[in-house]
Chain A
Amino acid sequence: MLAARDLAISFGGLKAVSGASLTVPAGKITALIGPNGAGKSTLFGLVSGFLKPDRGSVALEGREIVGMKPHAVCRLGMTRTFQIVQPFAQQTVRENIAVGAHLHIGGRKAALAAAEAVAQRVGLTAQLDKPAADLTVAGRKRLELARALATQPRLILLDEVLAGLNPQEVGEMIPVLRGIRDSGVTVFMIEHVMQAVMNLAEYVWVLAQGELIAQGLPGEVTSDEKVIEAYLGHGTAARLKAEAAHG
């Protein structure tokens, strides 16, 4: 579905992402995890056209999209959400979602009706006529998701849609995300909430200090030595192993 090859970008002297190559299989939920500051959101920015890579390529369904603007990428069927939610605060939930729906729907009434249908999918029906500014964090995350879904994407990039939610809210979101996958939309998500990653993801990429250090099934990567060291510090894996051997 999505294939990135050798992506790299530096901000000043800082190599935020260096030589990242990854693929996202169609029809599945793929997760991108990594410690804070690993460059996950930067990688999302590179893939979705918000940032221009210094080198590397990105192909969406075989089509080269590096250098395309975000709105053009969206037209091709890939959209993203933001880690720091960015609603159109002055507008109602319905109007917010309708902006996404307008990508394929010209008429105002039809777009507003489509917004209502999308709101139902993510559980925002009760808030439809509230201003977006009045939503709770959980509500805003849902709105972010709803707007993106309204563009009828084939691939959706979710940047920490579960961050800041309490365990109950996370539990409520998991079936929503699974429902999106089941409706045929490929999901690529950055996630810190491991409960969700273990629960949802069918494939996991691990990014640390701008490089992809591991990939595999959720169970595999969490026991990978390099991944443990990336999260818990150099030498931790060896120490843990030694401690386990000593009993």
Chain B
Amino acid sequence: MRSLASIAVLVLAVGLLPLFVSSGVTLGFVTMVLYATLLGQAWNILGGFGGQFSFGHAVFFGTGAYAMAVLQMRFGLNAWAALPCAIALGGVAGTLLGALSFRYGLRGSYFALVTLAFAEVFRILANTFDFTGAGVGLQLPLQEGAAQLQFATETGYLYLALALATVSLLFAWWLKHSRYGAWLAAVRDNEDSAAALGVNAFRVKLVAITVSGALMAAGGAFYVQKFHYIDPHLAYGAPISVEALLSAIIGGMGTVFGPLLGAVVLHGLGELTRNSLSSTPGASLVIYGALLVLIIMFMPRGIAGLFEGKR
């Protein structure tokens, strides 16, 4: 119940933030942290809670992003209608990828490679067809207004990111307090043991990758609404996969608040290095890498692991 209260406090604090802070930079920073939390939590549900390490979560992100853009631009759907469709398509992509790879018992690095391969295939496909704008990408027409899910100020995006991130946090909380969550953890720790105890590991993993894919797609849809542009590399490239897994791993895999903590640290550091090392482009990436190495060496259970104490 304590973590549920923490989620409520977070929602309240962020929700009231625009009343006290008017700086677009600050609100934009919080928005991006929440967006990174959503991506991290999406990865965390499958990788942290389920132990299936994906290296190609961009496949879901890109599917959500392109679905959002294509549905609006080619089919004339309203953004509010396109959003649930994009999320659902991400879930479907998760189910399909999961059914394929779990059916054949792919685990560990093999599963990671397959997800990476799928992301690459989709990147090439998106790069090829005019339908997705090919290499040029898709530019979402500017139509500001809440009805179009486009906002003139940061506040609107802040609330959208907050809503999506909260859903992902609540799902993670539910995993900690439900039979399904116990089954998922059992499958993560030992699939054979879980099967002997009556757990249908295949189905459990399939649900996890479906939810994970749907949340990741929500992140992609948010990206399109916020930046009005998507291209194959942004959608299906490796950076987005890495961003998702990084905030989860640094924050603490298999914890409710790990992705949030990881997102705060990564984006905080990103801002710092960008401002102080602006003369050396790429320096923030070096910091990213160094940090990951340090955390894996000294905090194998992430930042959240420090708070949980020794167990």
Using CB atoms and an 8 Å cutoff, list the residues of chain A in contact with chain B. Answer: 48, 50, 69-72, 74-75, 79-82, 86-91, 95, 98-100, 102-103, 105-108, 111, 131, 147-148, 150-151
Contact = CB atoms under 8 A, between A and B. Distances in A.
A42 B195 CA distance: 17
27 contacts: A48-B196, A71-B197, A71-B198, A71-B199, A71-B200, A71-B201, A72-B200, A79-B196, A81-B196, A82-B192, A86-B192, A87-B190, A88-B190, A91-B186, A98-B182, A99-B183, A99-B185, A99-B194, A99-B197, A100-B198, A102-B183, A103-B197, A107-B179, A108-B178, A111-B182, A131-B311, A147-B193
A169 to B, nearest CB: 22
A96 to B, nearest CB: 8
Contacts of B199: 71, 99
A82 B186 CA distance: 15
Given A50-B192, A87-B190, A91-B189, A148 B179 contact: no
B197 A108 contact: no
Q: Which 3 A-B pairs give the minimum distances between C-beta atoms?
A: A74-B198, A88-B189, A103-B198
B47 to A, nearest CB: 14
Interface in B48-81: none
A93 to B, nearest CB: 12
B103 interface: no
A202 B189 CA distance: 36
B205 to A, nearest CB: 13
A91 B185 contact: yes
B192 A108 contact: no
Nearest to B195: A70
Contacts of A100: 197-198
B218 to A, nearest CB: 27
Given A99-B183, A107-B179, A111-B179, A88 B193 contact: yes
B114 to A, nearest CB: 22
Question: Which of A48, A103, A111 has the largest number of chain B CB atoms within 10 A?
Answer: A103
B204 to A, nearest CB: 10
Nearest to A80: B196
Given A71-B199, A99-B199, 9 more contacts: A74-B195, A80-B196, A82-B192, A86-B193, A88-B186, A91-B185, A99-B185, A102-B179, A147-B197
A84 to B, nearest CB: 10
B interface residue count range (under 10 / 10 to 19 / 20 to 34 / 35 or more):
20 to 34
Given A86-B192, A89-B189, A91-B189, A108 B198 contact: no
Contact of A71 (B177, B179, B195, B311): B195
Contact of A82 (B182, B196, B201): B196
A70 B196 contact: yes
B196 A108 contact: no
Report which residue of A50, A90, A98 has the largest number of chain B beta carbons within 10 angstroms of its beta carbon: A90
Nearest to B201: A71
B179 A106 contact: yes
A74 B201 CA distance: 13
A71 B191 CA distance: 11
Contacts of B183: 99, 102
A69 B186 contact: no
A151 B200 CA distance: 14
A111 B185 CA distance: 15
Given A91-B189, A99-B182, A108-B182, A69 B197 contact: no
A70 to B, nearest CB: 4
Interface in B187-219: 189-190, 192-201
A71 B311 CA distance: 30
Nearest to B199: A71
Interface in B10-50: none
Interface in B143-195: 177-179, 182-183, 185-186, 189-190, 192-195
B192 A79 contact: no
A82 B195 CA distance: 12
Contacts of A111: 179, 182
Contacts of B186: 88, 91, 99
Contacts of B193: 82, 86-88, 147
A65 B18 CA distance: 62
